[in-house]
Amino acid sequence: MRLTKGLHVPKITEVTTTAKQRNVDVVASASTEGEFTLTVNQHYYASRILEDIAKIQANQDLMSIYTQADGYAISKKIDSTIGALIPGLSQITGDYGAALTDATIVSSIVKLDEANAPESDRHFAIRPAFKGDMLKLDKFVLQYAVGQDRVNTGRIGEVYGVEVVTSTNLPWTDASPDQASNCMFHRDCFALAMQQKPRVQSAYRIEKLGDQLVIDAIWGVAEYRDAFGVWVKG
């Protein structure tokens, strides 16, 4: 049986403004806050045995190499659970099998504007297959040519002030046509709660004549502000 734990966060509603009348007392608005619940129910691990013979014969620090590789695998799993939320968004632009166009990008931005999503902290996450479509847009190519840190962070530039990143952890279905889920969003669209950040543990297993490496993490994800995200099909 897997145990779960919920994180409860108040959702503050926008207060109604009232015109002040001379000699009339101010009346406080009634609080009608709702509650956002995020269930922490994701517990994954990556594990392997590093046998003594491999450690002895290797000319590299295998434990360090495997720790880095397995930590990356856990990080990809966390990203994938967030990406799986994209098809649940109510705002949709684009079509399956269609190229990513300037009109689709603008339409997605307008939806965020209409939701009053702050212009800062907006991001556009796309599958690598759609990077080619982005490179056909002159306004993007000019910025891409001088972008920084693309290799280490996945950032490939900006378009209309929105940071563009590529990720293979976004939903993809091999069909006819293929079904890809890109996403333009403000950071408040999704919520991530880490109850246990990726933890590295190892112990010697005498029956295996080697060290067992285990990296695990516990987290939960949920949609926080639906209107702050747009599911961009492609």
Nearest CA to 167 out of 138, 124, 205 is that of 124
Q: How much is the pLDDT for 27?
A: 83
Whole-number percent of the chain with pLDDT over 90: 67
Q: How much is the pLDDT for 54?
A: 92
Q: How much is the pLDDT for 21?
A: 86
Instruction: Over range 111-128, report the average pLDDT.
Output: 96
Q: How much is the pLDDT for 90?
A: 97
- Whole-structure pTM over 0.75, yes or no? yes
For residue range 206-225, what is the model confidence (pLDDT) as tens digits?
999 999 999 999 999 999 99
For residue range 48-75, what is the model confidence (pLDDT) as tens digits?
999 999 999 988 899 999 999 999 999 9
Q: Is 202 exposed, middle or buried (0-12, 13-18, 19+ CB in 10 A)?
A: middle
Average predicted confidence (pLDDT) for the chain: 88
Q: How much is the pLDDT for 196?
A: 95
Determine the residue type at 63.
M
For residue range 86-101, what is the model confidence (pLDDT) as tens digits?
999 999 999 999 999 9
pLDDT band at 164 (very low <50, low <70, confident <90, very high): very high
Query: Around Cβ 199, how many Cβ atoms within 10 Å?
Result: 13
For residue range 11-39, what is the model confidence (pLDDT) as tens digits?
667 777 788 888 888 888 777 677 778 89
Q: How much is the pLDDT for 8?
A: 66
First to last CA, the chain: 38
For residue range 141-157, what is the model confidence (pLDDT) as tens digits?
665 555 544 444 456 78
**Which residues have C-beta within 8 Å of that of residue 170, sequence separation ≥ 6?**
83, 86, 125, 126, 127, 180, 181, 182, 183
Q: How much is the pLDDT for 149?
A: 45
Cα gap 108→185, rounded to integer Å: 9
Identify the weakest region by mean pLDDT among 40-49, 75-84, 145-154.
145-154
pLDDT band at 9 (very low <50, low <70, confident <90, very high): low
Q: Is 215 exposed, middle or buried (0-12, 13-18, 19+ CB in 10 A)?
A: buried
